[in-house]
Amino acid sequence: MRQSPGSATIASQQINPPARLLMGPGPINADPRVLRAMSAQLIGQYDPVMTAYMNETMALYRGVFDTENEATLVVDGTSRAGIEAALVSLIEPGDRVLVPIFGRFGHLLREIAERCGAEVHVIETEWGTVFTPEQIEAAITETRPKLLAIVHGDTSTTLAQPLDELGEICRRHGVLFYTDVTASLAGNEFHLDAWGLDAVTAGLQKCLAGPSGSAPISLSPRAVEVITARKSIEAGIRSPGDPVSQSPIRSNYFDLAMVLDYWGEKRLNHHTEATSMLYCARECARLLVEEGMTNAVERHRVHGTAMVEGLTGLGLVLFGDQAHRMNNVVGVEIPDGIDGDGARSTMLNDFGIEIGTSFGPLHGRIWRIGTMGYNARRDTVLTTLAALEQVLRAGGARVTPGGGVGAALEAYADLATVAAGAGSAASPGGGA
């Protein structure tokens, strides 16, 4: 093949990304321990060490999700792969699915469910608000769905939908209950079993302190029953008597019936588990289980609160129903006269700090600032607030001098005892 001059030039340059502090809604900087795990050498797919790593990863994620579900594993691909796997495996064409939408990712659930052939019913609430259990139950009564699919924390609006009462409602109406916890897991309280969920999916690049590319998933025995009833084993590896379903799952890669056989005792060949991402996913969970889920949530609450107090101290206005804001990301209105995208560029170019823009109806109206995973720390909060003050001032906004850092420090003083413990748990560089 003839090499173009372009590729020869590129071939002489190793990847060397600039130092960035990622304080948007995700992805965030990975914990150095996760980066080290990801760079470990590869081993074979059925090496007993590899299958043991897979089993250990399952056990660790039971701790992260707070569940006894045997079917707890990781799907290879970003968070969206987990969503597709759950929905395509649970939904048969023609099934009714209810999707309450309170932000961008609710629209994504609707879109994926439609592509699975579902008859999708939606209810919507204004961005910046969430649903009451009564609203959701009324919609269930009206539409009689097989599945309720709802986002837990939607980063597009920074809000978290309360889920604790929905499981009982779903059980009473014989509805399967799925949620996407990508943005909220480990930063906000979550109890899979106690809240009666049937299927839950996540990702690594938010509060789990890893890169995107692996999607932890957990399925209740009820969900596993629905999925395995549709099992069809691939022709090339089928044995006599193996099931061939009349209603096979409409994706091969995301066929959780087959994926479960690969992760289970049978170790039936499916895809080749993405080894480096498995190392990563295992280390992300190990960090959290070691810290304790309650402590991890508290760390996000402390640093998230300090960020919120600092932004308010600068004179900025918060977006959305604050009673339901996620701990790990906050929306702030872009002050009048400030060019939102221009200010974000200055934050990036002058300070090496990334903050988030917004989608849809909120684009140009709010920024989204995250304090999550490895970046849920005191130094990152203070640095971001100090930089933001300068950028706002340069843009001509009236800000209280030192007001951001000052208010954050006061918040830390108020939260002192907890913050001290949580801060040390996230010390840069980490332990072994």
Ligand X SMILES: *Cc1c(COP(=O)(O)O)cnc(C)c1O
Residues forming the site for ligand X (CB under 6 A): 26, 78-80, 105, 151, 154-155, 180, 182-183, 203, 212
Query: Which element (helix H / strand E) includes 146?
Result: none
Minimum CB distance to ligand X, residue 7 (Å): 29
Instruction: Output helix, strand, coil percentages for the chain, rounded to the nearest 5.
Output: 45, 15, 40
The answer to whether the CB of 57 falls within 8 A of the CB of 202 is no
Q: CA-CA distance, 313 to 25, in Å (whole number)?
A: 21
Counting every residue written for the chain, the total comes to 432
Comparison of 116 and 183: residue with beta carbon closer to ligand X: 183
The answer to whether the CB of 183 falls within 8 A of the CB of 25 is yes
Other C-beta atoms closer than 10 Å to the C-beta of 396 total 10
CA torsion 82→83→85→87, rounded to 10°?
160
Comparison of 206 and 270: residue with beta carbon closer to ligand X: 206
Comparison of 256 and 411: residue with beta carbon closer to ligand X: 256
CA torsion 90→91→95→101, rounded to 10°?
100
Comparison of 180 and 261: residue with beta carbon closer to ligand X: 180
CA torsion 43→45→50→53, rounded to 10°?
130
- SS3 label, residue 246: coil
Task: Return the bridge partners of 159, or none.
Answer: 154, 325
Comparison of 206 and 301: residue with beta carbon closer to ligand X: 206
The answer to the question of whether 286 is labelled as a binding residue is no
The answer to whether the CB of 104 falls within 8 A of the CB of 154 is yes
- SS3 label, residue 99: strand
Comparison of 130 and 183: residue with beta carbon closer to ligand X: 183
Q: CA-CA distance, 130 to 405, in Å (whole number)?
A: 31
Residue 101 backbone phi and psi in degrees, to 5: -110, 120
Residue 358 backbone phi and psi in degrees, to 5: -135, 165
Q: How far is CA 340 from CA 116, 344, 392, in A?
A: 37, 6, 10
Comparison of 57 and 212: residue with beta carbon closer to ligand X: 212
The answer to whether the CB of 178 falls within 8 A of the CB of 218 is no
Q: Residues 6 or more apart from 252 whose CB is under 8 A from it?
A: 234, 258
Comparison of 151 and 355: residue with beta carbon closer to ligand X: 151
Other C-beta atoms closer than 10 Å to the C-beta of 155 total 27
Comparison of 155 and 327: residue with beta carbon closer to ligand X: 155
Minimum CB distance to ligand X, residue 278 (Å): 17
The answer to whether the CB of 34 falls within 8 A of the CB of 284 is yes
Alpha-carbon torsion (416, 417, 419, 420), positive or negative = positive
Q: Which residues are annotated as a binding site for substrate?
A: 368
Q: Which residues are annotated as a binding site?
A: 368
